Amino acid sequence: MTITILGAGNMGCALATMLAANRHRVQLWSVEADVVQDIERHHRTEKYLPGITLDVRRIRATGDLAAACREADGIVVAVPSHVVAAVARDARPFLAARVPVLCIAKGIDAQTNAPLPFVLAGALGRQRGGICGLAGPAVAAEFVRGTPTAVLVAGSPSAAGFWQRVFARPTFHVQRSSDVVGVSWAAALKNVYAIALGMCDGMQYAMNTKALLVERAIAEMTTVLRRVRARPETVYGLAGIGDLVTTGFSAHGRNRQFGERICAGADCDIPAVLAVTTVEGVACVAVVHAWAQRHGVALPLLETVWRVCHRHADPCRALERYLRTAYQD
């Protein structure tokens, strides 16, 4: 079986190693010519997964989107969230109508508040339930080295079952869910709250304080899932608390790193930080805050992150102010 992965970043390449280990052929597509060249010539990508050798027999790379898609038995979309729809529209002419598609990107559409798997379905002219989303506590640099990991694939039973069979390994467990809305919202929200947890680290607060923020984050995520008519229990699984713990505590988490950096010293030049790194939670918090304002949903911790990221609030003072009122009715 041939699986094409659109996007050869750290997650795309790490998932390629799982597929190759399961004896699938993998075609990685990327717009980054240096990444394609590194994979083709040296069977590695020092830019995204330093020290990892990619299977020379089963993993190839190309910058030709048509060639990458035409012979695919399955498509994994692993590009950044803001280009998911555009890449899907470009790929659509080269995809067979029934090829299974899996969305790795996390996010909520700013215009429609639809989860990215639904956005992807629209761009491809597919039914919503046919496009799956993947979430869970999966740090690419860890599971690529064989660290036991569990992820969640959300979609229709048949579509999710396909991806479960394709990816599952003794150290890479794949659970299924039909709650695409809940999994997608939880996976996106955790990036926002990971910024808050990073801010906590930057201010050198003790674990008591960080645990407080985790509890408040879970409470707000549950509130959101209820309002979007998803299953609130999804928050307590891999896509919610599982992914939040990884993203908010791991040294590899970009959202946590961002929060830590802006609170770690006198220099809190957020635009300068964002100019050199992608922080998905910054865009997501704007979308969710606008949604919450329209629907009258109170999310004090999320609003704190929004004020820091989009209203130039001083990060340290904003977090201190939140902590003084976190449990007021």
Q: Mind giving me the DSSP string for 155-174?
A: S-HHHHHHHHHHH-BTTEEE
The token pair at 34 is 């240096």
Q: Please, which pLDDT band fits residue 264 given cuts at 50, 70 and 90?
A: confident
User: Which residue reads 């939140």 in tokens?
Assistant: 322
The chain-wide mean pLDDT, for the chain, equals 93
190 is catalytic: yes
Continuous segment of H or E residues that includes residue 119:
helix 116-124
> Looking at residue 268, what is its pLDDT?
60
Compute CA distances 276 → 110, 192, 246, whole Å: 23, 19, 23
> Looking at residue 329, what is its pLDDT?
59
The identity of residue 298, as a single letter, is A
Asked if the model's pLDDT at residue 300 lies above 60, the reply is yes
Catalytic residue among 47, 106, 190, 210: 190
Q: Kindly list the structural domains of the chain, giving each domain's residue range(s) and its CATH number in brackets, ordered by start.
A: 2-178 (3.40.50.720), 189-325 (1.10.1040.10)
> CA–CA separation, 78 vs 106, rounded Å?
10
Summarize pLDDT for 288-299 with one digit per residue, the tens: 999 999 999 999
CA–chain centroid gap for 80, Å, is 9
Q: What is the DSSP letter of 281?
A: H
Q: Please, which pLDDT band fits residue 252 given cuts at 50, 70 and 90?
A: confident
Q: Please, which pLDDT band fits residue 276 given cuts at 50, 70 and 90?
A: low
Exposure b/e, 65-99, CB count within 10 A at least 16 = b: beebbeebebbbbbbebeebbebbeebeebbeeeb
pTM: 0.92
Summarize pLDDT for 57-99 with one digit per residue, the tens: 999 999 999 999 998 999 999 998 889 999 999 999 999 888 9
Asked if the model's pLDDT at residue 106 lies above 80, the reply is yes
Q: Sign of the C-alpha dihedral, residues 185, 86, 277, 273?
A: negative
> Looking at residue 253, what is its pLDDT?
87
> Looking at residue 200, what is its pLDDT?
96
Closest CA to 117 of 153, 143, 157: 153
> What would the mean pLDDT of 145-149 be, rounded to a whole number?
95
Summarize pLDDT for 154-204 with one digit per residue, the tens: 999 999 999 999 999 999 999 999 999 999 999 999 999 999 999 999 999
